[in-house]
Structure 1
């Protein structure tokens, strides 16, 4: 979408620049009377894409720019219009790139561009995306229609089957995605971690990942609890912060809570891993 938008504004820049040259202005006025109509339709499509990318506020700014452009066209004022379009193209190119280009995670690490491209080819991503955009532009309502929703679900499902998850999906549906992840992880519970530790259950609440453990055969009357659980917390931090899916959840306000109970199911300690615990800025 950003490539189309950038190309569209560059074309407008070229057309308006030519239109602004005095020597050819008469030619445009006499032979290209349909020029304003073409610009109108192009701008309508363009504003729809801006709305998808930036939302109503920036779309409103774009509409004002379009009105100003037609004012200049009708009253033949100045050369500023083509440069407005060019600047707008550059701004929206960068803005839409950051808004619409998803960062992908493959299993537990960042996916490479080659891996994502290959997976998208397998999923017919470009074809499905084109169908979705057409549905959006044809739909008179701002709401996502069932047809559009079905296309996007199909795209995400195909990528998920191949082990890919988009950070933007986690951002938009944090609790839903967290529930899916914890449900999938819980399917393999209970798990014996070592001779003293059993993972009983994994579930989620509002923006919280919760794992319940049972510690067996340990007498904390003779164990330095601080040293024991400091080592456990360090291991948990390394494990949580090395998984980019966890990082994506943390970036959207999710905490990871590890609750340890004794043989009698009395809580011994609750260790919460937050975003601030992942101190490696290259990870976050």
Structure 2
């Protein structure tokens, strides 16, 4: 029988609360991430992009600049405990990034994101990232054999997102050569932490925040011509259809790492 020490009540960083706090679904930051990324730069209608920017943000000097990002992540807290269980520390993600600015500071806004695990979904809502559940796949490079592309000229890397059993987005990049990290992946992310009111008469939480990130590392970045299509069925979400590409730019394949420490409120 497990002994219980009496105290003031259950605790934790997130629900569920428990006597020791170890049952929390989300551990407190910092959170460390290492991942493989397939990213495609594109342009959309600037007026449509502006519709997704809340008060306090503007489109910046290059309205309509955007990117679609497919990624496979491995993550851990400071203790590294999560790395002992691959089912716990791995997830895949698709997100859209829009170029924007806050009082002249260049930033990137994520209006839509999907992940395939519950923890990063809920953690995203804590951050203000609008994560939903989906299934994300992307091509992995190989160093031996023929069952995959090499990180070399001619290597072709693909990404796909499916939601509720239907494919929603697809992309492909054919590598030509090494390049610098894509700019939209180097900018601070700006989110809206939004939690609807639950008690009648209460005001919803709605605050503009930016991520606080350190330890950013890029592996070799390879780039080349790209293909991108989403949403594949515009009738599924007319608002998401506003973000569809009108012009597809270069694609990029690279490894990436960062440590996320929390957020800062933007005035």
- Kindly name which structure, 1 or 2, has the bigger radius of gyration based on alpha carbons: 1
Q: What TM-score results when the alignment is normalised by the length of structure 2?
A: 0.21
Per residue, is there more strand in 1 or in 2? 2
Considering fraction of residues, name the structure with more helix.
Answer: 1
Higher relative contact order (CA 8 A, sep 6+): 2
Structure 1 length-normalised TM: 0.20
